Amino acid sequence: MNVRKDTMDAKTPRGGLRMDHLCLRYGDGDDEIVALDDVSLAVDPGELVAVVGASGSGKSSLLAVAGAMRRPDSGKITIGGLEVTERQAKERATVRRDLIGFVFQGSNLLASLTALEQLELVGRIGGAPRAATRSKALSLLEEVGLAAKAGRRPGQLSGGERQRVGIARALMAEPAALLADEPTSALDHQRATDIVTLLRDETRRHRIATLMVTHDRSVAGLADRIIEMRDGRLIEAGASWVP
């Protein structure tokens, strides 16, 4: 299955990330935990939405469901105009490959790969031609200001640089949605601000719907919209949300 071919309109303003009435529960009986309770959220292309909330509020569950890693108990998820809710595991992998870019906590880069190879890996997974993949990877590294460090491995990069590589990697597959999981957790304030600014700029430049989960309330204000999660529910906090 090639999701990309099915969703050529994914980059249109009608695309983006849309979640309708999502519910997710873990366990049963007295042990039941409601991770997502009737969550609805739409992130438009070019928009950066920050999700904040206390530990256990359901932020990670939201990311797991939006990232096609968990199937919700009910509700609907649409990414780039394509409904992905009921897809089987293999198809969900294809959805992740073709429609979603991930920026992980602590960058989550492979230690054995150089910065350039981290990006090329995405092209390889997608079966893209090598020459085109390399060219695009170099272009993206240039975009995030790391062209000169393309040959360095994660251990030879600073925390901020690693996260920049992570952002460039997330852009490799030209995703309709970008999901960022605590992208600034290991960074000082200045670097955290730089990273979220970069994330916001790339979101706008590439017209991606970006959902960022963060504990770092100081950088959440850089997002276009801030949502607070509490007990599995979303509470719109607005652009001027103050912790």
Partner 1 sequence: MFVALRDLRYAWGRFVLMGAVIALVAVLTVLLTGLSSGLVNSGISGLRAMPLTHLAFAPKTNSTFSQSTLDAAAIRSLDRQPGIRAEPLGLTLFNAKDGADTSFSIALAGIEPGGFMADGVAGGSALGRTPAGVIISQGIAADGVHVGDRITLDRTGMTLRVAGIAPTATYGHVDLIYAPIALWRQATYGQVTGGVLPATARGLASAAALRVQPGTGVAAIGTRLGVDIETKQQAYAGSPGYVAETSTMSLIIDFLYVIAALIVGAFFTVWTIQRKTDIGLLKALGASNGAVLRDALGQVALVMVVATGIGALAGSGIGSLIQGGKIPFALQSDAIVTAAVILVVAGLAGSLVAVRRITAVDPIIALGAAA
Per CB under 8 A, the segment of 8-16, 74-82, 117-125, 192-200 that binds partner 1 is: 117-125
CB of 211 to partner 1, least distance (A): 13
Q: Is 214 in the site for partner 1 (CB under 8 A)?
A: no
How far is 233 from 163, CA to CA, in rounded Å? 29
Instruction: Enumerate residues 6+ apart whose C-beta is below 8 A from 164.
Output: 144, 145, 146, 195, 198
- Reported in sequence order, the residue ranges of the chain that DSSP labels E, i.e. its strands, are 17-26, 33-43, 48-53, 74-79, 82-83, 100-103, 177-181, 209-213, 225-230, 233-236
Instruction: Take residue 21 and report the two structure tokens written for it.
Output: 């009435």
Binding to partner 1 by residue 5, rule CB under 8 A?
Answer: no
Task: From 5-13, 38-46, 56-64, 192-200, give the range in contact with partner 1 by CB under 8 A.
Answer: 56-64
Output phi, psi for 217, to 5 deg.
-70, -20
Q: Which is nearer to partner 1, 67 or 160 (CB)?
A: 67
By the rule CB under 8 A, 222 interacts with partner 1? no
If the CB atoms of residues 61 and 203 are measured against partner 1, the closer one turns out to be 61
Which residues in 60-89 contact partner 1 (CB under 8 A)? 60-61, 63-64, 67, 69-70
Q: In terms of DSSP bridges, do strands 100-103 and 177-181 run parallel, antiparallel, or are they unpaired? A: parallel
Q: By CB under 8 A, is residue 22 in contact with partner 1? A: no
How many CB atoms neighbour CB 26 within 10 A? 12
Task: Out of 104, 138, 152, 235, point to the residue binding partner 1 (CB under 8 A).
Answer: 104
Q: What is the DSSP track for 143-209?
A: HTT-GGGTT--GGGS-HHHHHHHHHHHHHTT--SEEEEESTTTTS-HHHHHHHHHHHHHHHHHHT-E
Q: Which helix (H) or strand (E) holds 138?
A: helix 130-143
Q: Which stretch binds partner 1 (CB under 8 A): 12-20, 76-84, 111-119, 225-233?
A: 111-119
- What is the smallest separation between the CB atom of 239 and partner 1, expressed in angstroms? 26
Map residues 171-210 to x or -, x wherever contact with partner 1 holds by CB under 8 A.
--x-------xx--x-------------------------
When asked if residue 4 is in the footprint of partner 1 (CB under 8 A), the reply is no
The answer to whether residues 137 and 120 touch, using CB atoms and an 8 Å cutoff, is: yes
Question: Of 20, 94, 193, 217, which lies in the binding site for partner 1, with binding defined by CB under 8 A?
Answer: 94
Chain contacts with partner 1 (rule: CB under 8 A) = 35, 55, 59-61, 63-64, 67, 69-70, 90, 93-98, 100, 102, 104-106, 108, 110-113, 117, 120-122, 124-126, 153, 169, 173, 181-182, 185
